[in-house]
A = this chain, B = another copy of it.
Amino acid sequence: MSVMRLGYVHVRESDLAKAVDYYTNVLGLQEVACQDGKHYFKCWDEYDHHSLVVENGGLGLVKMGYKVATQDELARVEKGAEQFGLSVSRVSAGENLGIGQAVRCTLPSEHVLELYAEAEQSGTQVGVLNPDPWPSDRSAAGIGPDRLDHLLLTAEDVQTNVDFFTQVLGFRMSERIIPGPTNEELLGAFLFCSNKAHDIAFVKGPNGKLHHFAFWLDSWNDILRAGDILGRNNVKIDFGPARHGITRGTTIYFLGPNGNRNEVFSGGYMTYADFPCITWTADQIGKAIFYIHREVNERFNTHVT
């Protein structure tokens, strides 16, 4: 598969100062740069320049970046995206701070996706020579997730987005939600380009909207610790701690100070090219989303930014 991972999420925040404080002191990300009104953050176990960009004004997703392994693959997906019929453009190196040239396209769901093969590797604090397993100040402020993990977007037409990701970008579908045995319309699709249970997901909803973006934690114990930190900081909990039926992961969903939804996520099975897609029928949607609780709160279903 040609795409490696979700490299960055770029979001709008209606109160930028509050957002910067939140990503720094509650989520415990490292601010690596601030330029032209944009704040750049990364997690402690990420090698590239940044994984989160926040800018002032409104809410929701400006764009997201997925990193591919080589320039050849970048050229290949560029061509594929054009053939698929998307609006595609090249972005010069450095137009995205710390990121090489990119291919920008607008998904059928109106979200902006950038693909790129190169980024400045600023490395991590533990380094690559006889490294410690984690930096000594990992927990000094905030949750301190290892890395950005995935995002979930809404799309009026889930199937066409899935077609693009699978046919052009080489993603595969690990799980899907359908009305039932006699109606296989995609209500939700969970796609992977790695060995994770998902690298991106789409559920039926308004085009162009962000449901959440998620950070990885190493264990269910770290989920509890994250919850404590969210509680201490009076962050609005959307749902969790909980277990997903889909992905089997463990989770807390919460709303940042301006309303963008984040998730801390841990666990889940491994996928491979021969992974048999798991199907959830709509009558089991509760168990699919929150396996223990088996029902989904209204806000989770309707709040997007």
Q: Which residues of A contact B (CB under 8 A)?
A: 4-5, 45, 47, 67, 69-70, 121, 123, 128-134, 136, 139-140, 146-147, 194-196, 218-221, 224, 227-228, 230-232, 234, 237, 241-243, 245, 248, 250, 252, 267, 269-270, 272-281, 284, 287-288, 291-294
Main secondary structure of the interface of A (DSSP, over half): loop
Contacts of A242 in B (CB 8 A): 227, 241
A4 touches B273 (CB 8 A): yes
A291 touches B133 (CB 8 A): yes
| A232 CB, nearest partner CB in chain B, Å | 5
B195 touches A228 (CB 8 A): no
B231 touches A4 (CB 8 A): no
Contacts of A287 in B (CB 8 A): 130, 231
B230 touches A130 (CB 8 A): no
Contacts of A275 in B (CB 8 A): 47
CA distance A69 to B277 in the complex (A): 16
A231 touches B123 (CB 8 A): no
The 7 closest A-B pairs by CB, nearest first: A227-B292, A69-B273, A139-B139, A221-B221, A231-B292, A130-B284, A195-B195
B245 touches A47 (CB 8 A): no
Contacts of A293 in B (CB 8 A): 231, 237
CA distance A292 to B240 in the complex (A): 9
